[in-house]
């Protein structure tokens, strides 16, 4: 499967191409900008240009380009947040590599289009181990290899592991001569300062309206965004076409979170009914989306209450936040969504 075309960012592409052609492209770059604006797609484009061996790069016809265009180039490594692998830290590099290849294959089958990973997805310690290993090897096909780390701020959780943190910092500071590192983030402020200081930041701006219209007319993109009038989509996307992917799911998560908050305030019977409506299914991603939406709603409540000077209400809402965080941790484990929801609603109801 060919991945979706890169829409827009022409001026930035020219700048990067010019830097590359005079051998002045930094070894470690950070693309930052709004979620869904195409930062990882841009990184894949640059990676393709780095491995293409035609004079007119990227030519889109050479073997390197063909592999890159189907996410099969063995010197382009794309890491992104994913659900945690059980016992990931105990797995050997070969197994981790196979699991990672399967994730990339899944993205290739979806034309490189994907919804924003939910709150429980991350880039874990064992991923760092795999990246460091991959960086240490010689390129398989091309003269260079490229490591892309999407949503790099999701690596933050491993601050707890000094060893993993040091390994990635060393890699960013001194990548092997044949290696380019491309990080992306829509929340660069959440990146460890020690990471930010080791990369050259490049801003990826929202797409202008004409480019957005062209992107929305792209059949691959049209197939995965909500079925709504173009003007409505333009307003929702804010110049970031990828933000529209999974927009229906996000709207559903917010509706569900509102229902849960209302049930928490209603009574024991309503709480139980709302909890059982959660379903015990394997839709763990959908469940963590609801918990993420709850966090957003509760923070809205805190702000609104504070703005109207209602301090007790603001304090009460703030006391709910740890309960939601605890529910998220339980959801990351193997807990049953119905039981987690029931417990959470009781806790919210019991907050003084
Ligand atoms: Zn080529």
Work out the percent of the chain whose per-residue pLDDT is above 90: 69
Average pLDDT of the chain to the nearest whole number: 91
CA 45 / ligand 1 centre spacing (Å): 11
pLDDT per residue as tens digits for the range 90-99: 999 999 999 9
For residue 160, name the pLDDT band (cuts at 50, 70, 90): low
| Interval between CA 54 and ligand 1 midpoint (Å) | 5
Give the pLDDT band (50/70/90) at residue 285: low
Nearest to 3 by CA among 52, 38, 30: 38
198 CA distance to ligand 1 middle (Å): 30
Distance 282 CA to ligand 1 centre (A): 42
Contacts of 107 (CB under 8 A, 6+ apart): 3, 71, 78, 80, 114
* Cα–Cα distance, 348 to 324 (Å, whole number): 9
Q: Residue range 302-307: average pLDDT?
A: 92
Q: How far is the CA of 154 from the centre of ligand 1 (A)?
A: 32
The secondary structure of 215-270 as a DSSP string is HHHSHHHHTTS-S--HHHHHHHHTT-GGGGTTHHHHHHHHHHHHHHHHHHHH-HHH
56 CA to middle of ligand 1, Å? Answer: 8
- What distance in angstroms lies between residue 48's CA and the mean position of ligand 1's atoms? 7
- For residue 279, pLDDT over 80 is answered with no
Q: Is the pLDDT of residue 179 over 80?
A: yes
| Highest-pLDDT range among 8-12, 245-249, 250-254 | 8-12
List of residues 6+ apart from 265 with CB closer than 8 A: 349
The Å distance, Cα 171 to ligand 1 centre, comes to 27
- Residue 318 tokens read as 């703030």
Cα–ligand 1 centroid distance for 90 (angstroms): 38
CA 140 to ligand 1 center in whole angstroms: 16
pLDDT digits (tens, 9 = 90+) for 183-199: 999 988 888 888 899 99
Q: Token digits for 324?
A: 């939601």
Lowest mean pLDDT among 159-163, 263-267, 325-329: 159-163
79: DSSP letter: E
Is the torsion defined by CA of 187, 189, 192, 198 positive or negative? positive
pLDDT at residue 158, as a whole number = 53
For 179, the 3-state DSSP assignment is strand
Give distance in angstroms: CA of 227 to centre of ligand 1: 35
The whole-number pLDDT of residue 3 equals 97
User: What integer pLDDT is reported at residue 282 of this predicted model?
Assistant: 47
Per-residue pLDDT reduced to its tens digit, 195-218: 899 999 999 999 999 999 999 999
pLDDT at 266 over 60: yes
pLDDT above 70 (res 58)? yes
In tens, the pLDDT along 35-49 reads: 999 999 999 999 999
> How much distance in Å is there from the Cα of 59 to the middle of ligand 1?
4
Note residues around ion ligand 1 (Cβ under 5 angstroms).
52, 54, 59, 62, 65
Q: What is the pLDDT of residues 68-95, one digit of tens each?
A: 999 999 999 999 999 889 999 999 999 9
203 burial type by CB count under 10 A (0-12 exposed, 13-18 middle, 19+ buried): exposed
């Amino acid at each position: 499967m060919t991945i979706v075309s890169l829409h827009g960012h022409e001026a930035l592409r020219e700048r990067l191409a010019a830097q590359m052609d005079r051998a002045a492209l930094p070894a470690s770059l950070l693309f930052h900008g709004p979620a869904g604006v195409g930062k990882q797609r841009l990184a894949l484009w640059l990676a393709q240009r780095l491995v293409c061996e035609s004079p007119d790069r990227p030519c889109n016809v050479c073997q390197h380009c063909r592999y890159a265009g189907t996410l099969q180039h063995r010197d382009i490594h794309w890491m992104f947040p994913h659900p945690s692998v059980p016992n990931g830290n105990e797995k050997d590099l070969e197994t981790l590599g196979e699991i990672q290849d399967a994730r990339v294959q899944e993205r290739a089958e979806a034309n490189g289009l994907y919804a924003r990973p939910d709150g429980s997805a991350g880039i874990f310690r064992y991923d760092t181990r795999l990246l460091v290993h991959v960086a240490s090897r010689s390129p398989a096909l091309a003269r260079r290899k490229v490591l892309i780390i999407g949503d790099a701020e999701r690596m933050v959780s491993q601050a707890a592991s000094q060893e993993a943190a040091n390994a990635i910092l060393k890699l960013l500071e001194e990548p092997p001569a044949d290696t380019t590192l491309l990080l992306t983030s829509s929340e660069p402020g959440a990146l460890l300062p020690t990471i930010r200081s080791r990369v050259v930041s490049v801003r990826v701006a929202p797409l202008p309206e004409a480019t957005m219209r062209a992107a929305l007319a792209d059949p691959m993109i049209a197939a995965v965004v909500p079925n709504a009038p173009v003007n409505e989509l333009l307003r929702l996307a804010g110049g970031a076409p990828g933000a529209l992917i999974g927009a229906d799911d996000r709207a559903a998560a917010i509706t569900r979170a509102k229902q849960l908050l209302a049930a928490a305030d209603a009574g024991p019977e309503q709480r139980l009914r709302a909890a059982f409506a959660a379903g015990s299914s394997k839709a763990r991603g959908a469940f963590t989306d609801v918990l993420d939406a709850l966090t957003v709603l509760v923070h809205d409540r805190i702000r609104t209450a504070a703005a109207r000077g209602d301090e007790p209400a603001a304090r009460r809402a703030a006391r709910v936040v740890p309960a939601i965080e605890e529910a998220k941790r339980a959801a990351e484990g193997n807990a049953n969504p119905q039981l987690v929801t029931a417990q959470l609603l009781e806790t919210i109801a019991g907050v003084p």
